[in-house]
Amino acid sequence: MLDKPLAPATRIVRRGASPAASEHEAEICVLGAGISGVSAAVEAARLGRKVLLVDGLPALGGQAVNSIIGTFCGLFSNGLEGYQLTHGLADDILRELGAEGALHYRRGHTTVVLYDEVAFGRFVERTVRAAGIAVLLGAVLRRVRLEDRRIGALELATRYGDVVVRATGFVDATGDAALAFAAGLDCREPAEGVVYGSQMMVLEHVDEAHYPTREAVSARLAEKAQSYGLVRHDGFAFAFPGRGTALVNMNHVETPLDPFAASATGFIGKEQADRSLDFLRREFPAAFGKARVRAYGLPGIRQTRWIVGRHQLTVDEVRQGTMFADAVARTAWPIEQHHNAEGYVWEPFAEDHLHYVPFASLTPAGLDNLVAAGRCIDADSAALSSVRVMGPCIAMGAAAAHALDLAGSDSVHQLDIGQLRRRLGANVDARP
């Protein structure tokens, strides 16, 4: 028997004419809790900084969790014996999810690591809490308060009221350069055409014993995608061994920045995803005849708007593997451009190839306490396509944290770059 009354007392409330925003202070505020922002926040907290991690979604993990990206790319050098290029948070992910049986390595010329997105979502939450990071979710950036060459505070809207966040340093890990843009800085967008996103989904009741090869799926898509009403004529469905599930990436959807058009992308994407399930069921009935959708991700957004940094990483620098004095991240991931509706450009590199991201591509010249990380750093469209995958995103997040830690209340443009490089040696210089 409960001893509480059946009708607990209520009270009348009314919102004031201009309710005060709640105020919060941190040393480092990270806007965007995708893989880059989580890496930045965890690294900064482990450096002893008071960190606030903010996201517009009601959950942590950005696209890596909520769009069910499903594989970590760009974490290893090329070749069957490829070695790990990025450490820090990546070590924790590989160790903890590996121990849970939530990873599957696909080794080939490039290495991709499939992950269970549910396990990864919980890993992110546990890790962020264990690091003592303050979290503000469901908070969308509304305005930036500038103080000369510094960001002084962010004004955020949440369903529970407005919040003002003051900090010494800020990380723009929004993917869309939302912070740099709101601060009035120049940003880049594709001048013509679009970079397509994709609607990811996970299928269950897949028969692994009859699973087709990737080549067989590709060949059938090239032949028949159009007859199933599929915009994209390539893609893949990766099986997660032992689970009867498959991760499907088989469509292209525009991901505009207009609020109403952006709201429609999920519906368009799911229609395309449903058509791919129809294709898989009919073309490969032994494997997919009984398959059904277990989960759709939120719309997967590749490249929308990004910062103008002190250096724009170019496709030539990527192809040549240019090493920079201020390099903070590296990867061997191919150029992977999704600017055609029907397919994508895939330009893999040699086994010994590595390319690098300079700190100058993370830093807009106009502000002293802002560092970008992840898919909104400065690069030309092709170069960006090869460094926006999760391996280098983790490294860029770590770099942003160390740079703001070193800068304190001074400028990130006047750092001792040698000191920053030494701190980030594991992600730039280390070899097995």
Ligand X SMILES: Cc1cc2nc3c(=O)[nH]c(=O)nc-3n(C[C@H](O)[C@H](O)[C@H](O)COP(=O)(O)OP(=O)(O)OC[C@H]3O[C@@H](n4cnc5c(N)ncnc54)[C@H](O)[C@@H]3O)c2cc1C
* Residue ranges binding ligand X (CB under 6 A): 31-37, 55-57, 62-64, 69, 71-74, 140-141, 173-176, 178, 197-198, 200, 249, 300-302, 374-375, 388-390, 393
Burial (Cβ within 10 Å: 0-12, 13-18, ≥19) of residue 208: middle
Residue placing its CB nearer to ligand X in the complex, 174 or 361:
174
Helix, strand and coil in the chain, % to nearest 5: 35, 25, 40
Question: Could you give the CA distance from residue 228 to residue 276 in angstroms, rounded to a whole number?
Answer: 8
Residue placing its CB nearer to ligand X in the complex, 182 or 417:
182
3-class state of residue 275 by DSSP: helix
Tell me how far, at minimum, the Cβ of 298 lies from ligand X, in Å: 9
**Beta pairing, strands 51-55 & 22-31:** parallel
Tell me how far, at minimum, the Cβ of 29 lies from ligand X, in Å: 11
Tell me how far, at minimum, the Cβ of 159 lies from ligand X, in Å: 13
Tell me how far, at minimum, the Cβ of 7 lies from ligand X, in Å: 39
3-class state of residue 79 by DSSP: coil
Residue placing its CB nearer to ligand X in the complex, 72 or 288:
72
Burial letters 41-50, b for 16+ CB under 10 A, else e: bbbbbbbebb
Tell me how far, at minimum, the Cβ of 66 lies from ligand X, in Å: 7
Tell me how far, at minimum, the Cβ of 1 lies from ligand X, in Å: 45
The 10 Å Cβ neighbour count of residue 245 is 20
Residue placing its CB nearer to ligand X in the complex, 36 or 369:
36
Distances (CA, A) of 300 to 117, 152, 245, 343, 363: 14, 32, 20, 16, 25
Residue placing its CB nearer to ligand X in the complex, 72 or 417:
72
Tell me how far, at minimum, the Cβ of 389 lies from ligand X, in Å: 4
Residues 223, 185 contacting (CB under 8 angstroms):
no
Question: Could you give the CA distance from residue 247 to residue 265 in angstroms, rounded to a whole number?
Answer: 19
3-class state of residue 297 by DSSP: coil
* CA nearest to 34, candidates 89, 114, 85: 89
Residue placing its CB nearer to ligand X in the complex, 90 or 412:
90
Residue placing its CB nearer to ligand X in the complex, 174 or 427:
174
Tell me how far, at minimum, the Cβ of 336 lies from ligand X, in Å: 8
Tell me how far, at minimum, the Cβ of 113 lies from ligand X, in Å: 9
Question: Could you give the CA distance from residue 307 to residue 112 in angstroms, rounded to a whole number?
Answer: 28
The 10 Å Cβ neighbour count of residue 5 is 7
Residue placing its CB nearer to ligand X in the complex, 355 or 417:
355
Residue placing its CB nearer to ligand X in the complex, 56 or 417:
56
Question: Could you give the CA distance from residue 199 to residue 265 in angstroms, rounded to a whole number?
Answer: 9
